[in-house]
């Protein structure tokens, strides 16, 4: 991750608000920075809202009009610039964005996009050869449109001097990750508590893509079965129980899992539990035995051997490489 600037002075973050920008993403990002200032009891960050054209009032996706502080062309020195907007508009607007960013001197140490604004950066040619992400609803179309962008389904990506975020709640995790670069993990841990966060999600955690989206909405029984599994991690249900609760025979349930998820129910359930255990190992201080029990394993040795067989390392080794 790049170091944005020396923490000895306030960092200036610009937010370029484009038509139909997400007010929630902008609000989250701005709130994190302002609360960081309050926590530090000094101005660590300055915020500046920008527009693509002069005297432009930009309307958010919720319909609220916003009058930015300055036109992009007249922006002062920025440590980071974040683009927020709906899918890119006309070719002229995209060219205006590329031209405006190119005229910024010095260039911001980081240029980023929140949510579907990744379209704008990609169309302006600013993501070629970079890892990037976008909201899960746009991932496939985005990857097809920009074959030279390394597209992931992660919550956020920070690749050299480019950053992209899936938007929504992931904006909070993204901004905390940026702040940790200069203010440290202890400061960010305190900051996250102000938002009542149970945990901070790392950038390489994948977006939660609804099963109905992955397989289509034509298989409600399969979606219901997976929801039952996700709700019963600590005390796993049997395959027969799951089939009974969703109103299918065991054979019918197994056929659905094989056809749409290419696995059997028991295997899918086990992977859900192991992935949850991995998350807890990486992001909490709970003991290995506690984690194993909370993920439905009857004993520590059983958990460790199953974990090693699946991931190739033991839970203890997993935790040691955090």
Task: State the average pLDDT for the chain.
Answer: 88
Buried b (16+ CB within 10 A) or exposed e, 186-202: ebbeebbeeeeeeebbe
The tokens describing 80, both together, are: 């980071």
- Poorest-confidence range of 119-123, 205-209, 240-244, 283-287? 205-209
Look at 98 and 26; give whichever has higher pLDDT: 26
Q: Of all residues in the chain, what percent are helix, strand and coil, respectively (each to 5)?
A: 50, 15, 35
- pLDDT greater than 70 at residue 317: yes
| Domains of the chain and CATH, by start | 11-194 (3.40.50.880), 211-320 (1.10.10.60)
Structural contact between residues 160 and 127, judged by C-beta atoms closer than 8 angstroms: no
In this structure, how many other beta carbons lie within 10 angstroms of the beta carbon of residue 139? 18
Name the one residue in this structure whose structure tokens are 């960092």. 11
pLDDT exceeds cutoff 50 at 4? no
Report the residue count for the chain.
Answer: 322
pLDDT in tens, 180-192: 998 998 999 999 9
Q: Is the pLDDT of residue 92 over 80?
A: no
> According to the per-residue pLDDT averaged within each range, which of 8-22, 28-42, 207-221 is highest?
28-42
Give the helix ranges, DSSP H, for 108-219.
118-123, 139-145, 170-183, 185-194, 211-215
pLDDT of residue 216 exceeding 70 = no
Percent of the chain with pLDDT over 70: 93
DSSP state of 108: P
Question: Cα–Cα distance between 59 and 212 in angstroms, integer?
Answer: 32
- pTM score over 0.75: no
Mean pLDDT for the stretch of residues 89-103: 78
Q: What is the pLDDT of residues 17-76, one digit of tens each?
A: 998 899 999 999 999 999 999 999 999 999 999 998 888 899 998 889 999 999 998 889
314, burial (CB in 10 Å: exposed 0-12, middle 13-18, buried 19+): middle
CA distance 306 to 297: 9
Residue 196: band (very low, low, confident or very high) from pLDDT cuts 50, 70, 90: confident
Q: Per-residue pLDDT for 2 more than 80?
A: no
Phi, psi of 151 (to 5 degrees): -90, 130
What is the C-alpha to C-alpha distance for residues 195 and 189, in angstroms, rounded to an integer? 10
pLDDT band at residue 212, thresholds of 50, 70 and 90?
low
Compute φ and ψ for 163, nearest 5 degrees.
-145, 140
């Amino acid at each position: 991750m790049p170091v944005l600037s020396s923490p000895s002075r306030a960092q200036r973050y610009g937010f370029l608000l484009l038509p139909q920008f997400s007010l929630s993403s902008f609000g989250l990002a701005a709130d994190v920075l302002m609360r960081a200032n309050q926590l530090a009891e000094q101005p660590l960050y300055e915020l500046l809202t920008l527009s693509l054209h002069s005297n432009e009032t930009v309307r958010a996706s919720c319909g609220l009009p916003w009058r930015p502080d300055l036109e992009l062309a007249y922006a002062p020195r920025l440590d980071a610039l974040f683009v927020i907007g709906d899918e890119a508009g006309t070719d002229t607007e995209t060219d205006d964005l590329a031209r405006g960013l190119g005229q910024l001197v010095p260039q911001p140490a980081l240029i980023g996009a929140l949510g579907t604004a990744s379209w704008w950066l990609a169309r302006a040619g600013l993501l070629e050869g970079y890892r990037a992400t976008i909201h899960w609803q746009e991932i496939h179309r985005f990857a097809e449109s920009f074959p030279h962008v390394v597209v992931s389904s992660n919550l956020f990506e920070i690749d050299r001097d480019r950053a992209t975020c899936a938007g929504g709640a992931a904006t909070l995790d993204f901004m905390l990750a940026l702040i940790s670069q200069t203010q440290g993990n202890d400061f960010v841990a305190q900051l996250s508590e102000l938002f009542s966060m149970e945990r901070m999600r790392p950038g390489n955690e994948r977006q939660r893509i609804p099963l109905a989206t992955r397989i289509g909405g034509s298989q409600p029984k399969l979606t219901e079965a997976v929801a039952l599994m996700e709700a019963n991690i600590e005390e796993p249900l049997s395959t027969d129980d799951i089939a009974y609760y969703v109103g299918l025979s065991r054979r019918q349930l197994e056929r659905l899992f094989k056809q749409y998820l290419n696995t059997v129910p028991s295997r899918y359930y086990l992977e859900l539990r192991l992935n949850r255990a991995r998350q807890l190992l990486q992001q909490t201080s709970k003991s290995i035995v506690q984690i194993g029990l909370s993920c439905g394993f009857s004993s520590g040795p059983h958990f460790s051997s199953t974990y090693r067989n699946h991931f190739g390392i033991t839970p203890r080794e997993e935790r040691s490489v955090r």
